[in-house]
A and B are shown apart, each in its own frame.
Chain A
Amino acid sequence: MSWIKKEWTAQQADRWSKEDYLTFIISPVVYFLLALGVALSLLLLWYGWVILAVSLILLVVMIKIIDPKLKALSEDYEIKQKEYLEDLERIERWEE
Chain B
Amino acid sequence: MANFAFLDWFWLVVFIILMIVCGVLFYRLGKRSMSDFFLAGRGLPWWLPAASVYATHSATDTPIWVSGVIYRYGLRGIWYTFFSAWCAISAFASTRIFRRSLAYTQAEWQTLRFSGMGAEMLRGWIAGWQVFMNMFVLGWVGIAMGKLCNLLFGWPEWIGLILFSSLCAIYVLAAGYWGVIMADFQQGVIAFSVIVLVSIWGIAAAGGPQRIMIKLESIGQSWRLNPFAFSGWTSGDFPVVWFLTMLVIAVIGGFGMGTSIDWYPEAQRIQSARTIRDASYSIWSGSALIVVRNSLWAIAIIAFFSLYPNIQSTAEYEMAWYRIGFEFLPVGLIGFFFAAIVAIHLSTISTHLNLGASYATRDLYQHYFRPKASDRELVWVGRVSTLILLLGSFLYGLMMQEITQWLIFALWIMAAGIWLPSILQVVWWRFNSWGYLSSWIANLGLSWLVVWVLPEFKVIPVLPDYLQFWFMMVLGALIYIPTTFLTPHEDMDRLVKYYVMSRPLGWWSPVREEAERRGLLQYEGQQTERGMK
Q: A residues touching B (Cβ–Cβ < 8 Å)?
A: 9, 11-12, 14-16, 20, 23-24, 27-28, 30-32, 34-40, 42-45, 66-67, 70-71, 73-75, 77-78, 81, 84-85, 88, 91-94
Closest Cβ of chain B to A81, distance in Å, is 7
Which of the residues B108, B209, B503 comes within 8 Å of A42, measured between beta carbons?
B209
Chain A interface helix/strand/loop/mixed: helix
Closest Cβ of chain A to B299, distance in Å, is 4
Query: A39 near B291 (CB under 8 angstroms)?
Result: no
Query: B88 near A28 (CB under 8 angstroms)?
Result: yes
Question: Which B361-390 residues have a C-beta within 8 angstroms of A?
Answer: 362, 366-367, 371-372
The interface centre, meaning the residue of B100, B278, B291 with most chain A CB atoms within 10 A of its CB, is: B291
Query: B505 near A16 (CB under 8 angstroms)?
Result: yes
Per the bound structure, the CA–CA distance linking A15 and B509 in Å amounts to 13
With A34-B292, A39-B75, A39-B295 as given contacts, are A71 and B277 in contact (CB-CB < 8 Å)?
yes
Query: B523 near A11 (CB under 8 angstroms)?
Result: yes
Say if the beta carbon of B524 comes within 8 Å of chain A.
yes
Supplied contacts A28-B88, A39-B75, A42-B200, 11 more A-B pairs, CB within 8 Å: A12-B524, A16-B505, A30-B88, A31-B88, A31-B291, A35-B82, A42-B296, A71-B277, A78-B275, A92-B366, A93-B371
By a CB distance below 8 angstroms, the chain A residues around B20 are: none
Query: B93 near A11 (CB under 8 angstroms)?
Result: no
Query: Which of chain A's residues has its CB closest to B108's CB?
Result: A92
Query: A36 near B227 (CB under 8 angstroms)?
Result: yes
Question: Which B191-213 residues have a C-beta within 8 angstroms of A?
Answer: 199-200, 203, 209-210, 212-213
By a CB distance below 8 angstroms, the chain B residues around A35 are: 78, 82, 291-292, 294-295
Interface 9-residue window, one of B8-16, B158-166, B280-288, B392-400: B280-288
Q: State how many residues of chain B have any CB contact under 8 Å with chain A.
A: 54
By a CB distance below 8 angstroms, the chain B residues around A73 are: 96, 276-277
Query: A24 near B89 (CB under 8 angstroms)?
Result: yes
Per the bound structure, the CA–CA distance linking A66 and B200 in Å amounts to 35
Per the bound structure, the CA–CA distance linking A16 and B512 in Å amounts to 13
Per the bound structure, the CA–CA distance linking A92 and B101 in Å amounts to 13
Per the bound structure, the CA–CA distance linking A27 and B283 in Å amounts to 12
Q: Could you show 30 A-B contacts with beta carbons less than 8 Å apart? A: A11-B522, A11-B523, A12-B524, A23-B92, A24-B93, A27-B88, A28-B89, A31-B85, A32-B85, A34-B288, A34-B291, A35-B82, A36-B295, A38-B295, A39-B75, A39-B298, A39-B299, A42-B203, A43-B209, A43-B299, A44-B209, A45-B209, A67-B277, A70-B280, A73-B277, A74-B275, A74-B276, A78-B275, A91-B112, A92-B108
Per the bound structure, the CA–CA distance linking A32 and B227 in Å amounts to 11
By a CB distance below 8 angstroms, the chain A residues around B85 are: 28, 31-32
By a CB distance below 8 angstroms, the chain B residues around A78 are: 275
The interface centre, meaning the residue of B102, B254, B298 with most chain A CB atoms within 10 A of its CB, is: B102
Query: A39 near B78 (CB under 8 angstroms)?
Result: yes
Which of the residues A23, A30, A77 comes within 8 Å of B275, measured between beta carbons?
A77
Say if the beta carbon of B439 comes within 8 Å of chain A.
no
Query: A24 near B288 (CB under 8 angstroms)?
Result: no
Which of the residues A20, A43, A75 comes within 8 Å of B225, measured between beta carbons?
A43
By a CB distance below 8 angstroms, the chain B residues around A44 are: 209-210
The interface centre, meaning the residue of A23, A31, A70 with most chain B CB atoms within 10 A of its CB, is: A31
With A12-B525, A34-B291, A38-B292 as given contacts, are A92 and B367 in contact (CB-CB < 8 Å)?
yes
By a CB distance below 8 angstroms, the chain A residues around B366 are: 92
By a CB distance below 8 angstroms, the chain B residues around A27 are: 88-89, 91-92, 284
The interface centre, meaning the residue of A27, A71, A73 with most chain B CB atoms within 10 A of its CB, is: A27
By a CB distance below 8 angstroms, the chain B residues around A40 are: 227
Closest Cβ of chain B to A28, distance in Å, is 4
Question: Which B222-255 residues have a C-beta within 8 angstroms of A?
Answer: 225, 227, 251, 254
By a CB distance below 8 angstroms, the chain A residues around B278 are: 74
With A43-B225, A43-B299, A81-B102 as given contacts, are A28 and B276 in contact (CB-CB < 8 Å)?
no
